[in-house]
Amino acid sequence: MQSVGEQTYTQAVREGKYDLYVGNLFGKYDNVRTYWEDQLTRIALRPCLTHLVDRKREAGQKVRICDLGCGAGQGYQILTKIDRRDLDLGLQHQRVLNEDEISTYLGLDISQAMVEKGSVLFADKPQLQFAQADLREGLGKIKQEQPFDIYFSSYGSLSHLGRQDLVKLLTDVCEHGHDGSLIVLDLIGRYSIEWPDFWSAESESEKVRQYTMSYLYSETARQEIDIESFPLRFWAGSEVKQLADELAAATGTGLEIINMMDRSILVGRHTDTHEYNPALKPIRRLINSLHEDYLRTDLGDLILDLDVPDHPQITPRLQQLMKSWNTLVEYCQHRLCHNFCLPELKGWNDFPKPLQFSLMTMDRVIADVGWMWYGDPRANIIEPQLGYALRTLEYDMQRGSGCGHGLVAILQLKK
């Protein structure tokens, strides 16, 4: 029996969409993936991963990782490229987890094409192993292995499982892991602006919707080919908390939520496809443009004017974020042509702290590079920094409620 999504993933591997690449304007490894999503996952993981690795070092042990729904092993690069602190102007990285500190990285995926691709990409790293597994059946034979220090997932992989199947898998994980093991859940957020029609879901069946990876293809290709759809389970932050309580009660294991993060709140994959919300601007494409060398972006196109469904918690937060986003973009538009004193900005004292910090950052960036002539400083310095400022604004104002394309939850076992 062909697994859900198998046609899409097999075709994507065949077309090279899972080859290693550093980013672009379109496709799986676009600039938002590289400079926003991967980095935000690393930022969220850094404190707890640092603590785990330091503990293993003190015990003279190496780290064991199980990647649940590993794809072609991209999660390995997320975990091994986390810096211990924000970098200064020195040249050296100090990674939280070095490759030689990993004894085992076991990637599990239902797609044989993915397993084979991962084995090829990382053939020079003997500590990396890949195996085909149906996670709907729990950990299966993996329960015979030694416990892992990290049970990891990335990019919505566990949303392929219905709630009942995810409970089965995580029950196995809770029983298999040891005291201090980390569990990283990467799910699809239900309250994203990409699919406002999904917000009202109440029953379990309504929370499972058909989904496509049409963003892998150009707009022309999307109109000409038959793109597979498959069911995904969409999650709210409150549901993850309920799930953790349920697992703790069922297994008798302590399960602490260390962090929950909304990722890609305004720049999710389907903001460009309009597949679920035709009213959206192609905002992800515009953010990709900010991070592209020698490409200037019309900042006016970044201004958001979007109605969102009425939800007592989600709607006010999204409205505040969009208002702050627009304030930052509009200020940069003006500041590129005029000198300006920030405290004179209307409403300054009432701005959220993350917005004030972003405004001060961009004011300083523009002031400091205004004298440069070589290398198009607007395209290559100012616009990327605006991208990072907007990214930081999203991160600092999110609350892990499920209002982004991705919902990342980091849990720790207490035994």
Q: DSSP characters for 276-335?
A: S-TT---HHHHHHHHTSTT----GGGG---------TTHHHHHHHHHHHHHHHHHHHHHH
Q: Which domains does the chain show, CATH number per domain? A: 6-267+401-414 (3.40.50.150), 296-397 (no CATH)
341's CB contacts (< 8 A; 6+ apart) are none
Residues in the chain: 415
Query: Tens digit of pLDDT per residue, the chain (415 long)?
Result: 556 677 787 777 777 667 654 448 778 889 999 999 999 999 999 999 999 999 999 999 999 999 999 999 999 999 999 999 988 888 789 999 999 999 999 999 999 999 999 999 999 999 999 999 999 999 999 999 999 999 999 999 999 999 999 999 999 999 999 999 999 999 999 999 999 999 999 999 999 999 999 998 888 888 889 999 999 999 999 999 999 999 999 999 999 999 999 999 999 999 999 999 999 999 999 999 999 999 999 999 999 999 999 999 999 999 999 999 999 999 999 999 988 888 888 899 999 999 999 999 999 999 999 899 899 999 999 999 999 999 999 999 999 999 999 999 999 999 9
pLDDT score recorded for residue 19: 65
Q: Token pair of 267, please?
A: 């720049």
Q: Look at residue 23 in the predicted model and tell me its pLDDT.
A: 46
Q: What's the token pair of residue 272?
A: 């460009």
